[in-house]
A and B are shown apart, each in its own frame.
Chain A
């Protein structure tokens, strides 16, 4: 089994859901790796090792961003949340409250979020 993270029988999951899970698992692994590398950078007393670990840590950030972008392109709700919060200015908690008074993201975007149906049953 390539992943142990399934919570439902595999025969109930379509191919798109399996790919979604793969990408989610990959994203989690990349974020965990960033955290681990970061701790090791702080812990080591060897400056040359810290430089190598910091380089590797930042490489994982690119991997995480790629996985997140793959998910964003296929998940309308995630897309809406990322568009709302990323690259905003001011307190993060106020970004959400400002948006709360607006029409919901799904209402304003207009996209029905159909996407690929490959693997979807008849």
Chain B
């Protein structure tokens, strides 16, 4: 048994398989940041911090003795709780094929949003700067979605001028993504295809992001460091429900602020 205490849950192996499979099938759709930035690990639940290789000068312990304190970036544990009906789980054991896992589905969306927001906009309480906060470039204003190719081309040009190679990817908010998918240009070409050609990489539907951001996919610029990757653990239960949680530990670093350009829909 580990710290997730799954063995203590009144859940059969078949039920665990259904719960885990539901999470595995839905999470990749929402986890937009992982489609664009480096992911290192998982290093395990006991992994607590990343060595940043830097020091801070602090007061020495005695006369004539100087002191430098090593700087580390601690991991943060993200968690969303949910319940599963014991009746639903019993029905799975009887052979029912589609249990109601609505609370799990909501928890999946919540923790994925948490990870996306951490990467794109930062987590101030944790000391993580997001990509749009850390970028050294001024944001590019898109205005109307029809101007998308022009705005993305300007963002890519800014990256190239800074010496940042491609391919490039675009993370974009769900509303703008939908508009792009539905749009064609004057020549009849799908706007989506035009943008992909400019980027040389994917457009990623990114719940949690404000507007959008163009980033280099060459690697080494943005890093999620994972302690424990997304896992499901057990909290407690009563006669009616089992209380579970989705959890991960991670930190996020922008290693090269020049490697991203934020897009703004309005001024």
Contact = CB atoms under 8 A, between A and B. Distances in A.
B2 A120 contact: no
B229 A114 contact: yes
7 contacts: A73-B41, A103-B13, A106-B20, A107-B6, A111-B42, A111-B229, A118-B38
B34 A117 contact: yes
B1 interface: yes
A48 B232 CA distance: 56
B42 A73 contact: yes
A15 to B, nearest CB: 10
Given A111-B228, A112-B229, A120 B35 contact: yes
A108 B6 contact: yes
Interface in A90-122: 103-104, 106-122
Interface of B: 1-2, 4, 6-7, 13, 16-17, 20, 23-24, 27-28, 31, 34-39, 41-42, 202-205, 217, 226, 228-233
A114 to B, nearest CB: 5
4 nearest A-B pairs in the assembled complex, by CB-CB distance: A116-B39, A117-B34, A110-B4, A110-B231
B2 A109 contact: yes
B205 to A, nearest CB: 6
Given A107-B16, A114-B34, A122-B205, 7 more contacts: A103-B13, A104-B13, A107-B13, A110-B231, A111-B42, A112-B20, A117-B34
Residue among A108, A109, A117, A119 with max Cβ neighbours from chain B (10 Å): A117
User: Which label, helix, strand, loop or mixed, suits the secondary structure of the A interface?
Assistant: loop
Contact of B28 (A103, A106, A108, A114): A114
Contacts of B233: 110
Contact of B31 (A109, A110, A117, A121): A117
A118 B36 contact: yes
A118 B7 contact: no
Contacts of B23: 112
Residue among A103, A104, A106, A116 with max Cβ neighbours from chain B (10 Å): A116
A103 B17 CA distance: 12
Nearest to B201: A119
Residue among A107, A109, A112 with max Cβ neighbours from chain B (10 Å): A112
B28 A110 contact: no
Contacts of B2: 108-110
B34 A118 contact: yes
B230 A112 contact: yes
B27 A112 contact: yes
A116 B230 CA distance: 11
Contacts of A108: 1-2, 6-7
B27 to A, nearest CB: 6
A110 B232 contact: yes
Contacts of A117: 28, 31, 34-35, 39
Contacts of B28: 114, 117, 120
Contacts of B205: 122
A109 B217 CA distance: 31
Contact of B229 (A115, A119, A121, A122): A115
Interface string A20-42: 00000000000000000000000
